[in-house]
Amino acid sequence: TPVDTPDAALTYLFRHIILRDVAYESLAVATRMMLHEQVAHFIEQQYPGQLEQHLDALVYHYGLSRNEDRQRHYFALAAQTAQANYANETAIEHYQRLLPLLPAAEQGDILLKLGEVYQLVGQWENAEQMFAAALQQFGQQNDTVAMGHSLRKLGTLQRSKGAYETALSQLQEAQTLFETANAQQPLADTLQEMGIVYMQQGEFDRALALFQQCQRLTETIGDKRGQYRAIGNIGGLYYWQDELEQALAQFEQCHQLALELNDRLILSRSFGNIGNVYLEQGDLARALASYSENLRLAAEIGYLQGVSISIGNIGNLYLAQGDCASALVCNTYNLSVALELGDVQGVVFALWLIGHAFLCQGDHEAAALYMERAVTLGRKLDIPYDLCEYLYDLGRVYALQNRFALAQQCNAEAVELAEAMQHERIQFLAQIALIVYWVQLGKIKPFAGVNELRQMLLVASSPEEQALVHYEVWRMDASQERDRQEAAALYHHLYALNPTAVYRHRYQENGDGINGRCSPTRPARRGSTFHHYPSNLASTSQPTYSWLPRECKRNVFITLNPCLDTPKPVAILLTNHQHERGTAPAAFHSRRDKT
């Protein structure tokens, strides 16, 4: 059908796709390719200053032509544009089309970029293959700096998987190459990654030295992205050592840098890190608001690990409230993604939180099974700082099952590890637990246990620790009325500051609530009121899994009783349980996405 234009004789509009296809297929292949190239060339000539607006059309037409030179140019440009905008599938498609058009000697940079996209979307095996292929290619060219980039990316990926020994080896190789070439910016990036590995292993002094070195280096060369990472990782060290005000100051500084850089990936991470601090401080409304932004941004850019971490942290928030069912749903999803990615540390963290959710519901058997798995995998990962907390929690569960010999064994190891790692909070908690277990096992009399506990008041450095001592004294000897009153008053105060379920429960157990009076009303927080997000995570009855993006059907075989070293293969079964509600766990750290 002719179109009413000045060039009507040369222009036609096909009103049905079949007519268009028939006309197109009737052309010889060579003619088609020539016409596509002419159309693309016309666009270039007609819109020389607006080529980015017509990039899709140029990729399409040159892609169907024989002009490989223009294909290389526009495939590369389109892939980089898509990657920058987190259009991940499009970026992967264009990089894959580009690679065969390049000589082998020119493929290295594209392999690295394709690997970056694969890593972001959770295709870690493909990412590792791309990075390894790039390393081989650059090695043949003896390109020192490019080899360093490949090794750094491989090391970062191994660190994400929890393979810390391999990660350090590759990162140290990269460090040597960058130092030889005097490449300052990639050297700073490599030192950041090494610091994160040391932080994960609890070697905080070594990590801090590296992060501070990176901060000085990035400030010298004017690398804002590097400054963001250094400041954020120093904040992470403060966070893990319970210095929350310092951590929040660092994370807020990071947030401003992320806004200046206009990068949704690092902005997502900054929201998550700030949310973790708010949760520790008991500001649940702000914590949830931060986690919601963290989740929204991670989902927008297709950052699968970030989605998993944010949902796991929302589950942690539900646990703090005592909403066990919602916590279980969140962390079941968290576990499924971690298994899919091969994120071993994420698996450990999810198992631990699932154990806490079952403990909250009063299912001590299920709690023990999941925490045993967390301990076993934690041993394999070499994360002693976290492991001492896992061991302490597992001992608590064994004690609730009246398995006090096992509880004492786990707790003794927790004390030893906590002392070695200078984990003061777990040192204190585990020492209290050991005294309780000694009494239960008949190793000391209750009056001696009370005296031992009172000695712990001398080193109790916070109202929470003081409350715990008075609480355990009263539980050990119900005639200690003064300790009951002290515990009630302290838990009332703690609940007003940080309205967690464990504080509420202990006040009710020790205070006037035990005689039928109401527990204290949760205080209003500045900002918005608390809203559950997303609503389908906030089930108050039996948890459902219909909303989950994928099913988790993988089995992981690990040792059943890690404290006894008695191997027994068991499968992680993500089943739908319904149990009586119990006491929510004491506060514990959320998972921090690495800056």
**Which candidate, 141, 77, 140, 142, places its Cα nearest to that of 113?**
77
Partner residues linked to 591 by β-bridges:
none
User: Does 76 reside within a domain?
Assistant: yes
Whether the predicted pLDDT of 5 surpasses 90? no
User: Does 85 reside within a domain?
Assistant: yes
pLDDT digits (tens, 9 = 90+) for 511-565: 654 333 333 333 222 222 222 223 333 333 333 323 233 322 222 222 223 333 3
Task: Give pLDDT, residue 381.
Answer: 87
555 φ/ψ angles, rounded to the nearest 5 degrees: -110, 140
User: Does 23 reside within a domain?
Assistant: yes
Average pLDDT, the chain: 83
Residue owning tokens 């179109």: 3
Whether the predicted pLDDT of 295 surpasses 90? yes
Task: Give pLDDT, residue 49.
Answer: 81
Higher pLDDT, 515 or 134: 134
Structure token digits, residue 159: 């660190």
pLDDT digits (tens, 9 = 90+) for 387-398: 999 999 999 999
Distance separating the N- and C-terminal Cα atoms of the chain: 59
pLDDT-derived band at 1, boundaries 50, 70, 90: very low
- Under DSSP, the state recorded for 111 is H
Higher pLDDT, 551 or 385: 385
Decide: 574 and 359 in contact? Cβ < 8 Å.
no
Task: Give pLDDT, residue 25.
Answer: 72
Task: Give pLDDT, residue 33.
Answer: 84
Task: Give pLDDT, residue 521.
Answer: 30
Whether the predicted pLDDT of 12 surpasses 70? no
Task: Give pLDDT, residue 15.
Answer: 58
Distance CA 257, CA 233 (A): 14
pLDDT digits (tens, 9 = 90+) for 484-499: 999 999 999 998 888 8
Task: Give pLDDT, residue 321.
Answer: 87
- Under DSSP, the state recorded for 517 is P
pLDDT digits (tens, 9 = 90+) for 523-537: 222 222 222 223 333
Task: Give pLDDT, residue 511.
Answer: 61
SS3 of residue 385 by DSSP? helix
User: Does 95 reside within a domain?
Assistant: yes
Task: Give pLDDT, residue 54.
Answer: 85
User: Does 107 reside within a domain?
Assistant: yes
State the average pLDDT over residues 132-149. Answer: 97
Distance CA 148, CA 142 (A): 11
Task: Give pLDDT, residue 498.
Answer: 83
Distance CA 174, CA 151 (A): 6
Task: Give pLDDT, residue 119.
Answer: 95
Distance CA 344, CA 334 (A): 12
Structure token digits, residue 13: 């509009």
Task: Give pLDDT, residue 22.
Answer: 62
Task: Give pLDDT, residue 3.
Answer: 47
Task: Give pLDDT, residue 146.
Answer: 97
pLDDT-derived band at 577, boundaries 50, 70, 90: very low
User: Does 75 reside within a domain?
Assistant: yes
State the average pLDDT over residues 290-295. Answer: 96
Distance CA 240, CA 250 (A): 13
**Of 2-6, 150-154, 427-431, highest mean pLDDT:** 150-154
The set of residues, in sequence order, having a beta carbon less than 8 Å from that of 29 and lying 6+ positions away, is none
Whether the predicted pLDDT of 38 surpasses 50? yes
2 φ/ψ angles, rounded to the nearest 5 degrees: -65, 145
Distance CA 532, CA 226 (A): 35
User: Does 25 reside within a domain?
Assistant: yes
Task: Give pLDDT, residue 35.
Answer: 86
Residue range(s) defining the domain that contains residue 101: 8-111
The set of residues, in sequence order, having a beta carbon less than 8 Å from that of 281 and lying 6+ positions away, is 244, 498
pLDDT digits (tens, 9 = 90+) for 220-252: 999 999 999 999 999 999 998 889 999 999 999
* Residue 78 vs residues 68, 86, 91: alpha-carbon distances, Å: 15, 12, 7
Residue 219: CB atoms within 10 A of its CB come to 13
Whether the predicted pLDDT of 192 surpasses 70? yes
User: Does 433 reside within a domain?
Assistant: no
Q: Specify the number of domains making up the chain.
A: 1
User: Is the previous residue joined to 534 through a cis bond, with omega within 30 degrees of 0?
Assistant: yes
State the average pLDDT over residues 111-130. Answer: 96
Of 181-185, 297-301, 575-579, the range with the lowest mean pLDDT is: 575-579
Distance CA 460, CA 208 (A): 27
